[in-house]
Amino acid sequence: MLKRLSISQFVIITSLDIDFDDGLTVLTGETGAGKSIILDALGLILGDPADVDAIRQGEEESRIEAVFEQPQDHAVWKFLSKGGIAVEPQELHVKRTIGRSGKDEILVGEASVALPFLKELGTYLVEIHGQNANQSFLAPESQMSLLDAFGAYPPGVMENVAQAWDAILQIAKDLEDERNFLVVAEREKQAIDHTVTELEKLGMKKGIHQELAEELAQLVNTKGLCELFSSVNSQLIAQNGIELSLARVARLLETQKDPIIDKMKDHIGLALEQAREAISEMQILAPTYIDVDTSGIAKVEEKLAALKGIAAERKVPPEEIFEHYEYLAARLDRIRKAPAKIKEFDVKLISANEVYRGYAQILSDERKKAAQRLSDVITAEMPPLKLPNAQVEIVVGENQNERSAHGFNVITFTARMNPGMPFSPITETASGGELSRLILAFKMILQQVQAVSTLVFDEIDTGIGGAAAAAVGSRIARLAETTQILVITHSPQVAARGQQHMHVSKKTDGTSTKSVVNVLTLEERINEVSRMLAGEELTGESQAAARTLIEEAQSAVEARKARLTKTP
């Protein structure tokens, strides 16, 4: 419920704090005193657009603050938690400051929020009805929500439709993505196919670039060793090689018996022996380093160059060519499979639509049954509201072009005021006063299934009086037994029903004007209702009539409480 509304520097209000009781609060006063201004301020708290012209003349900003108190299990706390607003589930403070400079600051608790969030939050807190404030109630989507809240369908009926619709959207998205992919990929298929084929010819595998580089380095090193050993070997055993030269020298020295050359013989002999050992070692190593085929160097170089060329062309590092190959191969595979995948999605989409139609039809059937029940109970509310011939019919249409997560129904609240007349949408059927009573009848039934715990009726009695106004007052009072109701009224029959009566007036000092709100005592209420009955001049008769209206209203409340107490 709305506990307090504080308004500062707004239109003709300088500073105003209004504390509201639960039950029925009526606001009365002369036209232009500021009753609608209070509603406009509340509208800002509920997410209405800001208007800098509403800032009091001579001031730079207006401040509006509201305090709400909701049960811990109220849906608003879950909404706030989902929105990341950390507040204790007890009192909710909403503050809005608008400035001439364009400032529009919104605080929910201590958190700053955007206007769309505030507007959605407002739907959990207060619902305003009046000649210019019924759009949300009359909107088709609202009428569907109201019917569904009333319907109490079997478990899963609405959830199945929503899930089936989500499945359709997902499959449709996958199908569209695959089609878009194929359109783009077909243009690059030939290039990808060519690249994949060329890489596979190179023996593509993980680490291929490093492997080829290492193989080339090894081959180049081996070739160098081969050339080295070949040269050394030729120097050792060739015709003019060291072995033959040493052997010839040794034979020459062998024939000489001069002690002078004996030492030389020893050196030459040792050198010859070591040369022959070197030759033996060379013969052992020859198969490895002399007879090795290194002709593969050119082939490896060619593969490595081809690999680097493809990497450069694809703009990837050579070291990452295998990973790029895997990406291309996978993409090529997807391109090849895309036509079959598209056909698969087409089949899935057909199946998903069939599932959706089945669930949506079940929901539609449930809505039609609920619509009949709601039509009957709303029609039953017409006579007490002095519309004895009025009938309400909730029309549940089916339109496959209007499919959504909520099914394919189009809900229309229709009515006729007199028998024999055709049913038509209530906005086209009812006059201002009749429409107000129709909406009140709906609220009498639907309020018990709605989360909003505060209703505001702005001059719901416009265009009616006498018995009709008394009937409206009676039904509002009954609704106020379970819901906080705020009513702006010019009807004494409605005003007399208030449990809390506030009078709104203007005061001026000749240079400025401001609104004042006073909570009336019983005697002040009698005088105010008397004024509403007879005009500014109070008479004994009008005061007596006013007292009677108020006492009858109080007696009706007590009688109803007594009946409810006796009900087992």
What one-character-per-residue DSSP string does 216-262 give? HHHHHHHHHHHHHHHHHHHHHHSTT-HHHHHHHHHHHHHT---GGGH
Residues 97 and 230 occupy one common structural domain: no
407 belongs to a structural domain: yes
Q: How many structural domains does the chain have?
A: 2
Q: What is the CATH number of the domain that holds 441?
A: 3.40.50.300
Same domain, 8 and 39: yes
- Are the C-beta atoms of 105 and 96 separated by less than 8 Å? yes
Q: Does 315 share its domain with 459?
A: no
Residues 142 and 212 in one domain: no
7 assigned to some structural domain = yes
Q: Check whether residue 336 and residue 198 sit in a common domain.
A: yes
Same-domain pairing of 124 and 216: no
Does residue 363 lie within any of the structural domains? no
Residue 125 lies in a domain: yes
Q: One digit per residue, pLDDT tens: the chain, 568 residues?
A: 999 999 999 998 889 999 999 999 999 988 877 888 899 999 999 999 999 999 998 899 999 999 999 988 888 999 999 988 888 778 899 999 999 998 999 999 989 999 999 999 998 899 888 755 555 667 778 889 889 989 999 999 999 999 999 999 999 999 999 999 898 888 888 888 888 888 888 888 888 888 888 878 887 877 777 777 777 777 766 656 777 788 888 887 887 777 878 888 888 888 888 888 887 877 776 666 555 566 778 888 888 888 888 888 888 898 888 888 888 888 888 888 899 999 999 999 999 999 999 999 999 999 999 999 999 999 999 998 888 999 999 999 999 888 999 999 999 999 998 888 899 988 787 666 788 888 888 888 888 787 788 999 888 777 777 888 888 888 888 888 888 999 999 889 999 999 999 999 888 777 777 888 899 999 999 999 999 888 777 888 888 998 998 888 888 878 877 776 665 5
- Overall pTM surpassing 0.85 (yes/no): no
The token pair that represents 313 in the structure block: 């062309």
Within a domain: residue 290?
Answer: yes
* 333 CB-near residues (< 8 Å, 6+ apart): none
Q: What is the extent of the structural domain holding 9?
A: 2-155+381-519
95 inside domain: yes
Are residue 491 and residue 412 in the same domain, yes or no? yes
Q: Do 228 and 327 share a domain, yes or no?
A: yes
Query: Given phi > 0 = left and psi -120 to 50 = alpha, else beta, which region is 485?
Result: beta
- Residue 385 near residue 472, CB atoms below 8 Å: yes
Assess whether 449 and 512 both reside in one domain. Answer: yes
Q: How far apart are the first and last CA of the chain?
A: 28
Cα separations in angstroms, 394 against 31, 235, 442: 37, 114, 11
Identify whether residues 151 and 32 lie together within a single domain: yes
Q: Do residues 425 and 413 touch, judged by C-beta distance below 8 A?
A: yes
Residue 531 lies inside a defined structural domain of this protein: no
Look at residue 561 and tell me if it is in a domain.
Answer: no
In terms of domains, do 151 and 182 share one? no
If asked whether residues 111 and 184 sit together in one domain, one would say no
